[in-house]
Amino acid sequence: MNGKTVEVLTACILGVMILVGCADSQRESEEEKNVIGVYEAEDAQLSPNLSVKKEMSGFSGTGYAEGFEAEGDECTFRITIEETGFYDFQFTIANIGGYKENFVLLDGVSAGTIASPEGFFTEERMKRNYLEAGEHEITVSKYWGYIALDKLTVLQSKELEEDYYQVSAKLCNENADDCAKRLMSYLVDNYGTNIISGQYCDGGLYGHEMACIWKETGEFPAMVGLDMIEYSPSRTAHGSEGKSITYAMQAWEEGAIVTICWHWNAPEQYLTGNWYSGFYTDSTNIDLDKIMNGEDEEGYQALISDMDVIAKELQKLQRAGVPVLFRPLHEASGGWFWWGDCTPDSYIKSWYETYYDRQERSEKILAAVWSQIAERFQDYDEHLIFEGLNEPRKKGTDVEWNGGDQEGWDVVNALNAVFVRTIRESGGNNPDRILMIPGYAANAWAALEHIQVPEDDKIIVSVHAYEPYDFALNVQGRGTWDQDTENIDTIMQKLDELFISKGIPVIIGEFGAMYKNTEGNESERAAWVQYYVSRAAEKGIPCIWWDNGAFEGNGELFGLINRETCEWKYPLILEGLKKGTEQED
């Protein structure tokens, strides 16, 4: 490299340094213009336990205040404001022994808290405090304590951008119900204009804290805060009983907004201290990093199980039309709760992958699949009918085949709604296409009453009914029908009452009676099927035999037509099917 090149490079580098230096100086001068006053802590009013120290480096003035250790320890700055407006309070502060938070009072009234995240002096700011012209007192008072306070700098707040209060009411969850959307719209309408007051109270709207507020003001706060802590499985195992869902419904009925947090008591196997302190880091040995990176699969399943319990409770509010501002995994930055004692990546995964993503994944997959099918077949006419799901259920659980539970019914209804909406929003003939939806597991008994049919005049309810079970579906059951008509009659009557009479068509998408190697089994099945389809025909319900092509073995032998020879294996059953559909004039 020759000398001229070095000179040019040096000149460029110096030029960049000068430009950067100018920019920094410009920013600093603008900040200085906004400074209303600088107030040293050692010159402020200090409570008796506070003292002026000089051991820590980096302070300004002649020292800093230390000794925020007992209740009532505080430092009060007296300031003068010439013009009414908004002002920032910038505290130069350091913690002693780790992250701390302490109270800030403005003229004796709480203005919030100020954090001290570092063990050396940093500038931490509380923005946009409204002050009228005149004298004011700003007090830093012990909350966690153990800080070194150097000074207070008061600055005039910057003007807000014109669009600062223009926020969208669109929720990140596209499947949010109307109640949630209306609440979000209400919050957005009030943003930047009104303050919505709220109070956490374990007793709900009429609990102790609320009673105190009512006594002093004659009003209740607009928002009620509740906690799901007592629903945590590791607390209910010790006799705890949650009441927040009941209180939430009561508050909403009385016109209050509901917000809910969850002090999540860690799963039982991770508790090391008192069971009722299981949400604190120092009372558990749970390692969220290991759980979220796959090292602790048992722990992951334990978290999922806990969340399913809470989700089931929250679904009660959804069914009751009570929207909730839900804030689980809160206050994670300090690490005092176990869900915050981890890396940022693990916290993000625990929130997104196990809460939001888990909740929405099935709906997104269903929508993605059916949007593609709908596009491919959009030009087919009304002879093509779509059915969204086949026997959707909670696989591997105690309620898989016995009619389900509230959670299962809710999920299936939600998935049906996604399916219908996806088809209707696609092109071609899909907006007018006939669609079929099942209930939980397509069950013909308990689940029927929990089917929510979307507002749509081209929906068919799909049901699977093998009745009586011991003859029709039980591999180890009897081979004779014995004229057992009770269940068949009951199902047809229920389908009529719940749907047919209300103008909602029904299809029995699966039925049949399997082959049993007993004498006279074919004639028994033929008589059974004639009665079955005749009772369905009376109600206008088409039936589809589940022909799985199976004729031999020990499994479910529902075969009727030999696919290789195109021959009917059981001609008597064919005759029964035909006779059963013949209606008398």
Question: What's the CA gap between 387 and 433, in Å, rounded?
Answer: 11
* Strand partners of residue 387: 436
Residue 329 is encoded by which pair of tokens? 């995994």
Asked if residues 281 and 336 have their Cβ atoms less than 8 Å apart, the reply is: yes
CA 545 from chain centre, in angstroms, equals 41
- Residue in 101, 391, 467, 524 annotated catalytic: 391
Identify whether 267 is preceded by a cis peptide bond (ω within 30 of 0). no
**Residue 514 exposed, middle or buried by CB count within 10 Å (0-12, 13-18, 19+):** buried
Residue 269: helix, strand or coil by DSSP?
helix
d(CA 116, CA 98): 8
The dihedrals phi and psi of 90, each to the nearest 5 degrees, come to: -110, 115
- Is residue 510 flagged as an active site residue? yes
Helix and strand totals (H; E) in the chain: 14, 22
Specify whether the CB–CB gap between 575 and 526 falls below 8 A.
yes
Q: Which of 42, 66, 363, 510 is catalytic?
A: 510
Do 40 and 60 contact (CB within 8 A), yes or no?
yes
Q: What is the DSSP string of 132-178?
A: -SEEEEEEEE-SS--EEEEEEEEEEPPPPPTTTT------S-TT--H
Residue 519 burial (C-beta neighbours within 10 Å; 0-12, 13-18, 19+): exposed
**What type of residue sits at position 218?**
G
* CA 131 distance to own-chain centroid: 39
Q: What are phi and psi of 358, to 5 degrees?
A: -60, -40
For residues 190, 192, 193, 198, the Cα torsion angle rounded to the nearest 10 degrees is 60
What distance in Å separates the CA atoms of residue 244 and residue 226, rounded to the nearest whole number? Answer: 6
User: Cβ contacts of residue 19 below 8 Å, gap of 6+?
Assistant: none
Burial string for 207-232 (b: 16+ CB within 10 Å, else e) reads beebeeeeeeeeebbebbbbebbbbb
Count CB atoms within 10 A of the CB of residue 294: 8
Angle ∠(94,100,101) on CA atoms, nearest 5: 110
Which of the residues are catalytic? 391, 510
